[in-house]
């Protein structure tokens, strides 16, 4: 999809043969034993012959190269970050990015992770490409907070066991109803064998 967009909005040449080769190799790997992993031997993994695993690796490397070159044709070079959403729904879930040390995304909430990567809260409309400028500000370092007695939202009241992390109570606001307990009782009834006659 990104290659098609890049070919329409830049001087990028759509890699017809390369992607056609990828499709053919994936069709060769469509045997159910390959997909399910229910068979083995040199047809699937071999040091001496071209096998199913080699085809998967080749397609992965090739599509990564196409993705990088198409994205580069649209975003260009420089100190910016481009993200692509190929899905048909808006993405607003956090993403983990490898950014230059001490940098974050401009105008975006970013949190440093222990391994050096950065957790960022970005929004991308469906089937879109977005660009962000790098900010010289370092991402925020996480800090611990004291677990509240009750976690309250518009939808539930929850209690968590401080030692185990287990959910000990879940109620709807303004009621004494425990939806989790009712769901558990229903599941037990639904899975119990019928009485013998």
**Tens digits of per-residue pLDDT, 48-61?**
888 888 999 999 99
Residues 120 and 167 in one domain: no
Residues 127 and 161 in one domain: no
Which of 3-12, 59-68, 165-174 comes out lowest in average pLDDT? 165-174
Dihedral, CA of residue 129, residue 131, residue 137 and residue 143, to nearest 10? -10
Q: Decide if pLDDT at 93 tops 80.
A: yes
Give the separation between CA 20 and CA 10, rounded to whole angstroms: 21
Residues 34 and 50 in one domain: yes
| Nearby residues of 34 by Cβ (< 8 Å), 6 or more positions away | 44, 52
The 3-state DSSP class for residue 76 equals coil
Q: Decide if pLDDT at 195 tops 80.
A: no
Residues 82 and 126 in one domain: yes
Asked whether residue 197 is domain-assigned, the answer is no
Residues 63 and 107 in one domain: no
For residue 196, what are the CA distances in angstroms to 38, 111, 192? 39, 58, 12
The answer to whether the CB of 130 falls within 8 A of the CB of 82 is: yes
| Nearby residues of 194 by Cβ (< 8 Å), 6 or more positions away | none
Give the separation between CA 72 and CA 100, rounded to whole angstroms: 18
What local confidence, expressed as pLDDT, does residue 35 receive? 72
Task: Characterize the bridge pairing of strands 157-160 and 104-105.
Answer: unpaired
Which of 18-22, 39-43, 134-138, 176-180 comes out lowest in average pLDDT? 176-180
φ/ψ (deg, to 5) at 49? -140, 165
Which of 75-84, 87-96, 122-131 comes out lowest in average pLDDT? 75-84
Residues 127 and 88 in one domain: yes
DSSP annotation of 119: E
Residues 83 and 121 in one domain: yes
Continuous H helices in 29-99: 32-36, 52-75
Q: Decide if pLDDT at 34 tops 80.
A: no
Give the separation between CA 91 and CA 127, rounded to whole angstroms: 10
Q: Decide if pLDDT at 62 tops 90.
A: yes
What local confidence, expressed as pLDDT, does residue 76 receive? 78
Q: Decide if pLDDT at 185 tops 50.
A: no
pTM of the model: 0.62
Question: Domain range for residue 121?
Answer: 78-143
What local confidence, expressed as pLDDT, does residue 19 receive? 95
DSSP annotation of 61: H
Residues 84 and 73 in one domain: no
Greater pLDDT, 27 or 186:
27
Give the separation between CA 139 and CA 23, rounded to whole angstroms: 40
End-to-end C-alpha distance for the chain, whole angstroms = 60
Q: How many domains does the chain have?
A: 3
pLDDT-derived band at 47, boundaries 50, 70, 90: confident
Asked whether residue 129 is domain-assigned, the answer is yes
The listed range with the strongest mean pLDDT (40-49, 71-80, 119-128) is 119-128
Q: Decide if pLDDT at 180 tops 60.
A: no
């Amino acid at each position: 999809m990104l290659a098609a967009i890049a070919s329409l909005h830049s001087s990028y040449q759509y890699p017809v043969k390369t992607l056609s080769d990828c499709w053919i190799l994936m069709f060769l790997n469509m045997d159910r034993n390959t997909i399910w992993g229910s068979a083995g031997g040199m047809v699937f993994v071999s040091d001496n012959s071209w096998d199913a695993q080699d085809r998967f690796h080749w397609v992965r490397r090739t599509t990564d190269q196409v993705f990088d070159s198409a994205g580069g044709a649209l975003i260009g070079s420089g100190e910016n970050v481009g993200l692509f959403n190929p899905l048909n729904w808006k993405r607003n879930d956090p993403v983990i990015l490898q950014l230059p040390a001490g940098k974050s995304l401009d105008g975006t909430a970013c949190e440093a992770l222990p391994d050096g990567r950065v957790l960022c809260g970005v929004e991308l409309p469906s089937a879109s490409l977005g660009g962000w400028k790098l900010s010289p500000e370092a991402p925020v370092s996480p800090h611990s907070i004291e677990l509240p007695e009750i976690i309250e939202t518009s939808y539930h009241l929850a209690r968590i066991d401080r030692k185990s992390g287990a959910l000990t109570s879940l109620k709807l606001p303004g009621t004494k109803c425990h939806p989790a307990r009712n769901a558990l009782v229903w599941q037990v009834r639904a899975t119990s064998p019928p009485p013998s006659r």
